[in-house]
Amino acid sequence: MIVQTADDGISVLVVDDSFVQCQHAVELCRQIIGGKMYQAGNGVEALQSLARGRVNIMIVDLEMPIMDGVELISQVASENLVEAVIIVSAKDISLISSVGEMAQADGLQVLGTLQKPLTETDLRACLDVYVSAQQPLGRGEGPREDVSARDLATAITESSITMHYQPKLTTQGLKFSGVEALARWEHPARGFISPEVFIGAAEAGGEIGALTMCLLRVALGAKQKWLSQGLDVKLAFNLSPSMLIKSHFANWFSEYIEYSHINPESITLEVTENVLLGQVGKGLMNLARLRLKGFPVSIDDYGSGFASAEQLARVPATELKIDRVLVDGVADRPAKRAILDSTIKLAHQLNLSTVAEGVERFEDYQVLADMGVDMVQGYYFARPMPARELLRWVRQDLPLLRKKLVDFK
């Protein structure tokens, strides 16, 4: 049963021995992205279909007669027959995830590992990952939530999007080692809008370049002001993956920093681990050039997705930022501790310094410090704050915090 349907666009092959579930997945895909749909009832049929042409995405079940999903995935990866996979199975999630890791290690882009029944929400999230990675810069039609292009453009020109700054501290001696700049938008009518929402909207709508420029200007202004007050602050700045794949980005960014008379070593560029996945040639090239120009590069959100150790080694990074999912509650969870332990060892072997983010409890901080994490960041120490509050925090609150931690022990 190999069926070709619909018109041009993204091509999807659904492989499942249950005809009903296969149809269900095809129907959902058709509603979400349209494009060309193919179906197969097992691995052999899938390979026959792929022999007639590659597809963009394969949605694959694991348990199937004749040739199962695991074998199919490894064949498809070795012959480079699909770009990306979504693994869907009724098996337990840890098994599905480990097949995902395997596919990732084989070089496939894994958009998601899902447990059956397949829902529209889950599938949409996976397909969104693929679509946004393909989005031509400056012209996306992705989800904008309820932020309009006009709102965003006005906010950018009126500079009503601002930055807050969250301190990063060393675990040894709790010394102030810089801040991460985090975008904030207080909308006059709607109140606080999350950066994840408006940055996503700017990426989809093509305003991300203007927004990045505006945020950089604000953050560098704060840095200069702190310097005039006697505090030389290292700044971590988040970069959207869509900025990184613009071919002139490295030049543009470094020229702007040079023009502002700022030392590149004092600006760490944070890029999410997603940058390691999929088609990242240009992104990695820009990162390598930025490293050459002296900017430290941090892999953000490590542990929240599928980046493998091997992919990590390919990135010209100087720092690994361990995601809150691995950090939160580590004091009570032996499994998290084991993963963290090997992550920290790996990072140090790769010469990367480590930052644990999202530290909310003293117990977790203590475990992280004992494990050799270099830096910490989180609500336990400080929430992101406006620029004008930083000096007071460093001079008054931080010494109190150090004293409190000594008393705690």
Pair 218, 162: CB distance under 8 Å: yes
Other CB atoms within a 10 A radius of the CB of residue 160 amount to 14
103: tokens are 């596919």
- Bond into 264 cis (ω within 30): no
195 binds, among ligand C2E, Ca ion, none (CB under 5 to 8 A by kind): ligand C2E
Q: Which is nearer to ligand C2E, 73 or 271 (CB)?
A: 271
According to the binding rule CB under 6 A, does residue 195 interact with ligand C2E? yes
Contact segment (CB under 6 A) with ligand C2E among 1-9, 10-18, 225-233, 351-359 equals 351-359
According to the binding rule CB under 6 A, does residue 166 interact with ligand C2E? yes
Query: Whole-angstrom Cα distance, residue 41 to residue 66?
Result: 10
Tell me the one-letter amino acid at 309.
Answer: A
Helices vs strands, H then E, count in the chain: 17, 15
Q: Of 64, 127, 182, 287, which one interacts with ligand C2E (CB under 6 A)?
A: 182
Q: Of 98, 194, 251, 279, which one interacts with ligand C2E (CB under 6 A)?
A: 194
303 binds, among Ca ion, ligand C2E, none (CB under 5 to 8 A by kind): none
275 binds, among Ca ion, ligand C2E, none (CB under 5 to 8 A by kind): none
SS3 state at 12: strand
Instruction: Locate the DSSP E strands across 171-302.
Output: 176-187, 191-193, 235-238, 267-272, 297-302
Q: Of 273, 300, 319, 374, which one interacts with ligand C2E (CB under 6 A)?
A: 300
CB of 195 to ligand C2E, least distance (A): 4
Residue list 266-285, contact with ligand C2E (CB under 6 A): none
Contact segment (CB under 6 A) with ligand C2E among 22-30, 55-63, 177-185, 386-394 equals 177-185
According to the binding rule CB under 6 A, does residue 199 interact with ligand C2E? yes
According to the binding rule CB under 6 A, does residue 209 interact with ligand C2E? no
Answer positive or negative: Cα dihedral of 213, 218, 223, 224: positive
Nearest CA to 269 out of 212, 198, 348 is that of 212
According to the binding rule CB under 6 A, does residue 301 interact with ligand C2E? yes
Q: Which is nearer to ligand C2E, 12 or 181 (CB)?
A: 181
Contact segment (CB under 6 A) with ligand C2E among 107-115, 176-184, 251-259, 310-318 equals 176-184
**Buried b or exposed e, range 220-238, using 16+ CB within 10 angstroms:** bebbeebeeeeeebbbbbb
Q: Which is nearer to ligand C2E, 8 or 146 (CB)?
A: 146
Task: Tell me which DSSP letter residue 101 carries.
Answer: H
CB of 108 to ligand C2E, least distance (A): 25
CB of 113 to ligand C2E, least distance (A): 22
According to the binding rule CB under 6 A, does residue 206 interact with ligand C2E? no
CB of 300 to ligand C2E, least distance (A): 5
Q: Which is nearer to ligand C2E, 33 or 219 (CB)?
A: 219
Q: Of 238, 268, 274, 286, which one interacts with ligand C2E (CB under 6 A)?
A: 238
Identify the H or E element spanning 70.
helix 69-78
Pair 156, 207: CB distance under 8 Å: yes
Contact segment (CB under 6 A) with ligand C2E among 49-57, 281-289, 352-360, 396-404 equals 352-360
- Give me the DSSP letters along 253-278: HHHHHHHTT--GGGEEEEEEGGGGSS
Q: Residues, the chain, total?
A: 409
Q: Which residues contact 196 (CB under 8 A, 6 or more apart)?
A: none
In a 13 Å sphere around the CA of 75, the CA atoms on its Cβ side amount to 15
CB of 70 to ligand C2E, least distance (A): 33
Q: Which is nearer to ligand C2E, 89 or 286 (CB)?
A: 286
155: tokens are 């906010």
According to the binding rule CB under 6 A, does residue 384 interact with ligand C2E? yes
Distance of CA 316 to CAs 243, 281, 284, 350, Å? Answer: 17, 12, 8, 10
According to the binding rule CB under 6 A, does residue 263 interact with ligand C2E? no
> Would you tell me which residues interact with ligand C2E (CB under 6 A)?
166, 181-183, 194-196, 199, 215, 238-240, 300-301, 324, 357-360, 378-379, 384
